[in-house]
Amino acid sequence: MLWMGDLETCFMEDLAAIPVGAADILFAPHHGRDSGRVPAEWLEQIQPKLIIVGEAPAEYLHYHPGYDTITQNSAGDITFECRAGRTDIYVSEWDYSVDFLTGFRLADNHGGKYIGSLEHRYAVNRGASMKYAVQLINGSEPLMRNAAVCFQGAFVRIRKIGDDWFLESSAFDGCAIPGEVFPIADKLLRLMQWITAVHARLFSICEIGYVQAFNEAGMPSTRGLRGTIRVQIISPDGIQELSEVHGEQSRGSMLAAVAMARADLQEALALVGDGYDLQWAQIYNILEFLGGADAMVQRKWATRDQIRKCKQTANHFRHLGSPQRYPLPASPPTQGEATILVFSLLRKWISEHFAA
């Protein structure tokens, strides 16, 4: 907060060359009168999220267009309760409200009505705590506001800084560089989304953006970015097979036409799902769909040992709650190896049932 007393505009303009610090809440000087209008040079440095305009006759007030304001003439007495990461605001006029504060469903207090909380732009934590915050992206504003009220504490907190939402956690304290923050943030967000899924049927809150570093004064400094690229390794043999012409159409086109008309081929292809990778449950379902190992071994599609190990491994990961009841086989296949095997089996099944 920045309280400027009874400074008047002419005096502040004489001092405009002197730098001032940033503040989330600015109390407009001279009770908010036009004669106490803050110079633009200072406002650019202060960057207030909220300006409090004091009590004075309305015709003398300067309302600071472009900024969120609370005017005492309308709100009455204003009480600020400062907390870690936010300031809770109460007013004595019970009919007063604003739409730019974050609601944390707090009870009315301090003899006034709770109208919302202003989330601080910067985490002013000197010393070792809260050196990093992680940007949260691809979450809608209503969803993020709901998630924010669920996670408010020293270990994990979601709050808005400027126009962006951020994840803060004491779990980041031991990180020396932003690169060390990402894996912790990934795990933490995954746990948070499991929690919201169980309690509120909210399966996906948002995704991780950049890591924001803060200096000792609590001001943002550098950002850590993470670049990702998905590499798909394709099979040239498979491309060639699908491109082979049968009659007047390629094999791929022929299979698409058959699949539109045949429910059994649709069922087989639907086992692949819509993702980039097969999960263990899908691998198990494909093996179940293709039938017993005897038939596949007899057709020489795979060895009995390959099928047994693949199915036992997939079944183990389908029952992670009972690992002793469903143990892994010796030398289990990787998920990638199992994917290659079941795709090979599925192609052979399609070729046998829908030959050109």
pLDDT tens by residue, 77-124 = 999 998 767 889 999 999 999 998 988 778 898 889 999 998 876 544
pTM given for the model: 0.46
Q: What is the mean predicted confidence (pLDDT) over 25-42? A: 87
Q: At what angle do helices 335-353 and 263-270 cross, to 10 degrees?
A: 170
Under the banding of pLDDT at 50, 70 and 90, the label for residue 210 is: very high
Q: What is the mean predicted confidence (pLDDT) over 127-139? A: 77
What DSSP string describes 43-110? HHHH--SEEEE-SS-GGGB---TTS-EEEHHHH-SEEEEEETTEEEEEES-TT---SSSBP--PPPBT
Q: What's the pLDDT at 353?
A: 84
Across-strand partners of 83? 86
Q: How many CB atoms lie within 10 A of CB 270?
A: 12
82 Cβ partners below 8 Å, 6+ apart? none
- For residue 54, pLDDT over 90 is answered with no
pLDDT tens by residue, 256-265 = 888 888 888 8
Q: What's the pLDDT at 121?
A: 67
Higher pLDDT, 154 or 346: 346
Give the rounded percent of residues in the chain with a pLDDT score beyond 70: 93
Q: What's the pLDDT at 356?
A: 55
3-state DSSP assignment of residue 245: strand
CA distances to 23, 62, 85, 158, 216 from 125, rounded to whole Å, are: 15, 33, 10, 16, 7
Q: What's the pLDDT at 330?
A: 93
Q: What's the pLDDT at 217?
A: 67
- For residue 129, pLDDT over 60 is answered with no
Q: What is the mean predicted confidence (pLDDT) over 333-337? A: 92
